[in-house]
Structure 1
Amino acid sequence: MKLTVQIRLLPTPEQAAALEATLHACNEAATWASRVAFERDVKRTFALREHTYGEIRARWGLGAQAAQHVVKKTCDAYTTLKANLKAGNLGRPGSKRYRRATEKPIVFRPEGAQPYDDRMLSWQMAERRVSVWTVTGRVKDVAFTASPGQLATLALHRKGESDLVCRDGMWFLLATCEVPETSLNTDPVDFLGIDLGIVNIATTSDGEIMAGRELNRSRSRERGLRAKLQKKNTPSAKRRLKKRRRKEARRAKDVNHKIAKHVVAEAERTGRGIALEDLTGIRERVRLRKPQRATHSSWSFHQLGQFIAYKARKAGVPVVHVDPAYTSRTCAECGHMDRANRVSQAWFACRSCGFVDHADRNGSRNIRARARELWRCGVQSITPAPPPKQRGEAGRKRSATASGARCASPSL
């Protein structure tokens, strides 16, 4: 499987200036190539290369490999745009956002990432140095650093291109590594159900609750501070805003990595699979009051699911995605489903059998039961299509059957 390892470069001021000039030249050339591709409606790499390759080399002084990567980066950007338009991620055809994306060519940021292959970038792992091609010539002996685990992965499994990135004045190389996968456990003894939420980021069917109160408090604090600084709008306030950029995202990413690592390690240790909810499109299906929108929009459930999925794949742990419809209203003991069962955000009390439990723990047990049924039917993962919008369905996670288990032909 492919993983990306982030390596921080420690260039001298002269080396940093050369790297900056290179990024600016490559992205300026990519913007010009994008304009040519848009005006002539040429979005394929080979065809666009015929129109732009010579001009890119002559005008911006890029090397052969750099010019090739500029053309390919431009075509990849249009391919991604086409996929987003097809998926509806940029609104409906004719909407303001859709027109803004399609009525003008793509523009690349001056410090956008630039891909490097082994002809343009060489690694000296023992000395922790890299040699990088720039528009001013080859820059050698650029120091780099990373965590011991990342350095070990880089030394053993690096394969393919690396992206040069400048972020908040710091330089990074995002190196592609081909990491071997552990063989998939095709006979798990059970499943570890994971209920995802905002108040409690993840709750397992074993009863372990990974609360999100600290993360939510820090998010609220960051939002308040941003609002105050934006209101002041002074040079000092702008400097502080720039310094605090992405701080909240980094904190949330770190928390999600830790939770994913713990969940996968527990499933691997006990020989179980992992059961996750398929929450695709949940933001479009719910209607929230204004005070709730920021909290709901900053809920990074998709990122946590991705982290769990790739760590599980690396460890050979099977992952099943189940339909989350009514998991918060169904009793894990008797199966009775009633909206009144959910007493509050934290507590569940069955109106039929009297079973009382933490609401998220009860939901995770239902998710585990659905994963068992799916695996018994031979389905490793299922992603249901979003239901049509209906009145009164805003508070539900899914509009589907209460069982949530759909059998199909075995895929093992």
Structure 2
Amino acid sequence: MTILQDTPQQVRVIGEARLLAGLDHGRANLARHLWAHGEQPQLSRDAYTVLAEETGLRGRGGAGFPVALKLADLPQRGIEAVVVNGSESEPVSRKDRLLLTLAPHLVLDGATGLAHALGASKVLIAVHDATAAASLRAAVQERTTDENELRYRDDGLDIQIADTPGRFVAGEARAVLSILDGGPAVPPGRRTLPTRQGLRGRPTFLSNVETFAQLALLARLSSRQFAATGVRTEPGTQLLTIAGAVQRPGVLETPTGIPLDTVLQYAGADAGPVLLGGYHGRWLPRTDGVTLARPQVSAGIVLALGSATCPLGEVHRVAQWLADQSAGQCGPCLFGLGALVDDFSRLLQGDAAGWHDAQRHLGLVPGRGACAHPDGSARFLASALEVFAEDVRLHLTGGSCGRAVQGVLPVPGGGW
């Protein structure tokens, strides 16, 4: 096990450091990046597609769409741009902004290499974190100037870094495209794939930050070398954000398929339920036998709740935040999430009608929204009612479970 020091957050590696290689002393400038990873090879579109197919590489955001299928869906010509979605607005996640802050050249390698392969003339990187944006701009400057006779140019590419708002729904892929096109920071009601109609209405390759960093590694390694660690179905390493009731929070690089209990033990997690996938994810009642690979781990978030706080009170805090993040453009999000906040509030006070109304509303919300926000929020709340059934019983019979709400689940303004 390797522990990386002198970083803005606690950054650790179990096994081989790949994405986090060269970060022992903080941010990797261009020289350190090249020392750790070597030159970026220029590959063809077909070569990227074959590598993605052979390794089963999926996007490392919430959706986990196969990269090879996304490439195959693009036309042979007329691709407008490659877009890096760095709007990591999930309150718990830190992995993408850490890559942008400490390993910006790895992300740029993945994006520019693919842009050249696809014949796209632009790379746009959407970022809502000021520190990450500053690191990216410095990296772009490093790549366009000579230093100590080092040359590393992204010839012919227009690389732009766009600031985006930090609201939850503003990080959704179609919302990012809307922002980049000068529109509102909300997903449009129509669900058109970016590969068909993306930036300026033209075909666009869009994925999240870690995906491009993985592509940069994959371009340098053969599929066999890439698959030397991790599970067979999707080999390699992954970044996990570890948070909650743990002694060692932060970002952890592990092989895919690592047992959840190994991660929790290393992080010094308190006993208790675990949330996988963030606030659009699911609660687990027990962790033995669970391995961390997609789609189980979703956006790479492992949040330990512990046993000292009131679970339903914690969930109610997050439900209120999720409702506040509504784009306000459809009924299930605008009214449904607000109703669920009220349901959970009454349940906490021992009102059985709150539990019954929550069950009813949770059946009405999914599948009817203009974007994925109501579906993900309903999934989070429904799994809470299932996993915390004993706590529900305690609240309904005695008005309380006897534990105070300690704010273990972070929400903006509530601290990390």
Q: TM-score, normalised by structure 2?
A: 0.25
For the pair shown, which has the larger CA radius of gyration, 1 or 2?
1
**Per residue, is there more strand in 1 or in 2?**
1
